[in-house]
Structure 1
């Protein structure tokens, strides 16, 4: 089974690889692992994110969070707060401002949703009760 040395892998479309590299590397601080003419691979908070060049991918005029998004659920609140500071400092495009959901329940969590240059939505969150991460 998976352990901490393994990396989850996700691939998403990118209409412009330079814009994707700027967003993920320069704005979010994700190191570039590899870059080719048709894709760029990042260390996305310890997992592998591949942005595949997809210039003909349809533009979603009004994206919605469900059913398609990805991101990170932080175990520590400090890590979530550090991301929020980075987002504010670097003026990362925000799709949905930080908010709290399910207040007063075991599922209570803080969430913020970002949008990359292709329109992929990224949700970052932190649960008050770490047992609710999964």
Structure 2
């Protein structure tokens, strides 16, 4: 497997203060640079930037069926090491996170078997975190 290069993602939030607190205090992301319209975070070694954007009326999250669950689209997240995922899921449960899809094993016994979980940030952005016992399965067909 190739060396992983950190990615950068910018997401819109209509409630900068509430989302800042969520990413910093609930997800334990280290805060970086910021202004009154955006905040940088370290999300498991990747740069996540939340940018203020006014809320649009009637925004609806689309969902696609995957392995018997309705996956929110769009979504973003990080592929974590197996043990890190388990610890992170446990921490989120202890903090009372309301999951869209509770942590479970997707595609169990099949190519691409993985642990996954989905939840929303305070602005309604969908996050997925996943892990593979065998990271070589990440792009397996």
Instruction: Flag whether TM exceeds 0.5 (same fold).
Output: yes
Deviations, residues 2-30 of structure 1 (Å, cap 9, x unaligned): 955x5310000001111111111100000
Q: Which residue among 107, 112, 121 is the counterpart of 2:117? A: 112
Deviation at 1:52, TM superposition (A): 0.5
| Distance (whole Å) between structure 1 residues aligned to residue 91 and residue 57 of structure 2 | 30
Which residue number corresponds to residue 51 of structure 1?
Answer: 50
The Cα RMSD (Å) is 1.9
Deviations, residues 61-91 of structure 1 (Å, cap 9, x unaligned): 45533541110111x2110111111101212
Gaps of 5+ in 1: none
Matched, 1:60 2:59: yes
Q: Which residue among 65, 76, 83 is the counterpart of 1:70? A: 76
Matched, 1:129 2:134: yes
Deviation at 1:40, TM superposition (A): 0.9
RCO higher in structure (CA 8 A, sep ≥6): 1
| Distance (whole Å) between structure 2 residues aligned to residue 21 and residue 40 of structure 1 | 7
**Structure having the larger proportion of residues in strand:** 2
CA contact (8 A) 2:62 2:74 kept: no
Describe the SS at the equivalent of 1:106.
coil
Gaps of 5+ in 2: 64-70
Alignment size in residue pairs: 131
Matched, 1:102 2:107: yes
4+ residue runs over 6 A deviation = none
Describe the SS at the equivalent of 1:7.
coil
Alignment TM-score, normalising by the size of structure 1: 0.87
Deviation at 1:107, TM superposition (A): 1.0
Shift of the 119–109 alpha-carbon distance from structure 1 to 2, 3 Å rule, reads same
